[in-house]
Amino acid sequence: MADTSVKDPQVKKAEPLFGKAERKLLVDPLNDNNPITVQVLGICSALAVTSLVYPSVVMAVSVIFVTAFANLFTSILRNYIPKQVRMIVQLVIIASLVTMVELTLRYLNYPIYKQLSVYIGLIITNCIVMGRLEAFAMANKPWRSFIDGIGNGLGYGVILIMVGIVREIFGKGSLFAGSPIELKIIGATDAYMIDTTQSVLFGWYANNNLMVLPAAAMFLIGIFIWIQRSYNQKLVDVS
């Protein structure tokens, strides 16, 4: 990936590269301003890929890449973008970044590319990306926008991976299936299914098929929101 991460010398001179404000931009989306559970953005493309952790991680990384760089480029161009076609320009930027992600995945890891299929393309309409461009990058300097992009991508990724972990452990009994570090956590292994003399941990556990259904992701996010709001009263929906 041809990264062009730091490229705004004026900002460096004027204020610290990573001060309090930047820290807030990075940390806020993880809890108080989480894109999924608080801003309710970017749920669409997320749910279908979270039945396993590994694709969730790949998806999260892709989204972080896209939000960060879409924010960066939009912010650089923000004073030149004509208002009339603002949306189309933003979408072109996002779409080309997503195309790059797709091509890169195809080059680096073909099986996972196959597995994520259309959901890679759907990052384009992932409302977080667009939402952050509108709400932040159009009005802020490149470096801060870049941090904001990473923060929001992370906030999204954290939820995605959390959902993925719960769904995979209870739905499949494993973790990181399909990746080089596949772990079998609970339930009978494939080897056990073929040869029952093999002993396994918690071999009695039967996979919970509800967890692999897409609906489980909805329940889990609902429950995450419940837990988060019980601790964070200011987020409670009064309406």
Partner 1 sequence: MHSTKYVVIFVLILTSTVAVLLAGFREITKEGAERNEDIFNKRAILLAVEDYLGDGVKVNNLADGEVLNIFDTQVKQVTLNAQGQPIEDGGVKAEDIDMAKEKKKPESERKLPLFIYESGGEKYYIVSVRGTGLWDEIWGNIALKSDLNTVAGAAFDHKGETPGLGAEIKDNPTFAEQFKGRTIYDNGAYVSVNVRKGGAVDKEHEVDGISGATVTANGVSDMLYKGIKAYEPYFKTLK
Partner 2 sequence: MEFLNVFIKAAFIENLVLAYFLGMCSYLAVSKTVKTAFGLGLAVIFVLGITMPINWLISEYLLSENGLLGIDLTFLRFILFIAVIASMVQLVEMVVEKFSPGLYAALGIFLPLITVNCAILGGSLFMVSREYNLTESVAFGLGGGFGWFLAIIAIAAIREKIRYSNVPPALRGLGMAFILTGLMGIAFMSLMGIDPAVFTAAK
DSSP the chain: --------HHHHHHS-TT-HHHHHHHHGGGTTT-TTTTS--S-HHHHTTTTSHHHHHHHHHHHHHHHHHHHHHHHHHTTTS-GGGHHHHHHHHHHHHHHHHHHHHHHH-HHHHHHHTHHHHTTTT-HHHHHHIIIIITTS-HHHHHHHHHHHHHHHHHHHHHHHHHHHHHHHSEESTTSTT-EE-SS--HHHHH-TTS--TTTTPPP-HHHHSHHHHHHHHHHHHHHHHHH-GGG----
Q: How far is the CB of 215 from partner 2 (least distance, A)?
A: 4
Tell me which of partner 1, partner 2, none is bound by residue 114, counting a contact when its beta carbon lies within the kind-specific cut-off of 5 to 8 angstroms: partner 1
Stretch 30-49 residues interacting with partner 2 (CB under 8 A) = 37, 40-45, 47-48
Tell me which of partner 1, partner 2, none is bound by residue 229, counting a contact when its beta carbon lies within the kind-specific cut-off of 5 to 8 angstroms: partner 2
Q: Give the count of residues interacting with partner 2 (CB under 8 A).
A: 48
Tell me which of partner 1, partner 2, none is bound by residue 122, counting a contact when its beta carbon lies within the kind-specific cut-off of 5 to 8 angstroms: partner 2
Q: How far is the CB of 223 from partner 2 (least distance, A)?
A: 8
Q: How far is the CB of 232 from partner 2 (least distance, A)?
A: 9
Question: According to the binding rule CB under 8 A, does residue 185 interact with partner 2?
Answer: no
Question: According to the binding rule CB under 8 A, does residue 98 interact with partner 2?
Answer: yes
Stretch 42-81 residues interacting with partner 1 (CB under 8 A) = 51-52, 80-81
Residues 41, 43, 130, 211: which binds partner 1 (CB under 8 A)? 211
